Chain A
Amino acid sequence: MSEAAIEATDLVRDFKKGPRAVDGIDLRVEAGEVYGFLGPNGAGKSTTVHMLTTLLPPTSGTARVGGHDVVEEGPAVRATIGAALQEAALDPFLTGTEHMKLQTALHGMRRAEAKSRSGELLARVGLTQAADRKVGGYSGGMKRRLDLALALVHEPRILFLDEPTTGLDPQSRSALWDEVQRLASDSGVTVFLTTQYLEEADVLADRIGIIDQGRIVAEGTPAELKAEISRPTLEIIPAEHGELARTREVLARFGEPANSSPKGAAVLLSEGEAQLADVVRALDADGIHLQHLQLHAPTLDDVFLAKTGRSLEGAAEEEAEQPDPEQAAAA
Chain B
Amino acid sequence: MRRSTLAVQVGVLARRSVVRTLRQPAMVVPSLVFPLILLAINASGLDSATRLPGFPTDSYFQFALAIPFVQGALFSANSAGTNVASDIESGFLNRLALTPLRRVALMMGQLAGILALGLIQAVTFVVIGVAFGSGIAAGVSGALVIIALSLVISLAFGCIGAFVALRTGSGEAVQGVFPLFFAALFLSSMALPRNLIETDWFRTVADWNPVSYMLEAIRSLVISGWDGEALALGFACAGGLALIALVAASSALRTQMVRT
Contacts and interface: CB of A to CB of B under 8 A. Distances in A.
23 contacts: A54-B98, A54-B260, A56-B258, A57-B260, A72-B260, A74-B259, A75-B100, A85-B94, A87-B90, A87-B91, A89-B95, A91-B92, A93-B23, A93-B24, A105-B8, A106-B99, A106-B101, A107-B4, A108-B3, A108-B4, A108-B100, A109-B1, A109-B2
Given A57-B258, A74-B260, A108-B100, A91 B16 contact: yes
B100 A86 contact: no
A85 B92 CA distance: 10
A29 interface: no
Contacts of B1: 79, 107-109, 154
A47 interface: no
A71 B258 CA distance: 12
Nearest to A58: B260
A134 interface: yes
A195 B102 CA distance: 31
Contacts of A134: 23
B45 to A, nearest CB: 38
Interface of B: 1-5, 8-9, 11-13, 16, 19-20, 23-24, 87, 90-92, 94-101, 169, 258-260
A305 B94 CA distance: 34
A105 B97 contact: no
Contact of B12 (A71, A90, A102): A102
10 interchain residue pairs of minimum CB distance: A89-B91, A74-B260, A108-B4, A108-B2, A106-B99, A105-B12, A89-B95, A93-B23, A54-B260, A93-B20
A101 interface: yes
Interface string A69-107: 011101101110101011101110110001001110111
A196 interface: no
A78 B12 contact: no
Contact of A55 (B24, B92, B97): B97
A330 interface: yes
Contacts of B11: 105
Given A70-B260, A105-B12, A78 B99 contact: yes
B260 A90 contact: no
Nearest to A69: B260
Contacts of B260: 54, 57, 70-72, 74, 77
A53 B98 contact: yes
Majority secondary structure of chain A interface residues (helix, strand, loop or mixed): loop
Interface of A: 53-57, 70-72, 74-75, 77-79, 81, 83, 85-87, 89-91, 93-94, 98, 101-103, 105-110, 134, 150, 154, 330
B166 to A, nearest CB: 12
A55 B19 CA distance: 27
Given A57-B258, A72-B260, A150-B95, 9 more contacts: A75-B100, A78-B99, A79-B1, A81-B98, A85-B91, A90-B92, A91-B87, A106-B101, A134-B23
Given A57-B258, A93-B24, A154-B1, A106 B96 contact: yes
Contact of B99 (A55, A86, A94, A103): A103
Nearest to A102: B12
A91 B11 CA distance: 17
A79 B259 CA distance: 13
Nearest to A75: B100
B20 A89 contact: no
A105 B100 CA distance: 10
Contacts of B4: 105-108
A78 B100 contact: yes
Contacts of A109: 1-2
A106 B12 contact: yes
Nearest to B92: A89
A116 B98 CA distance: 22
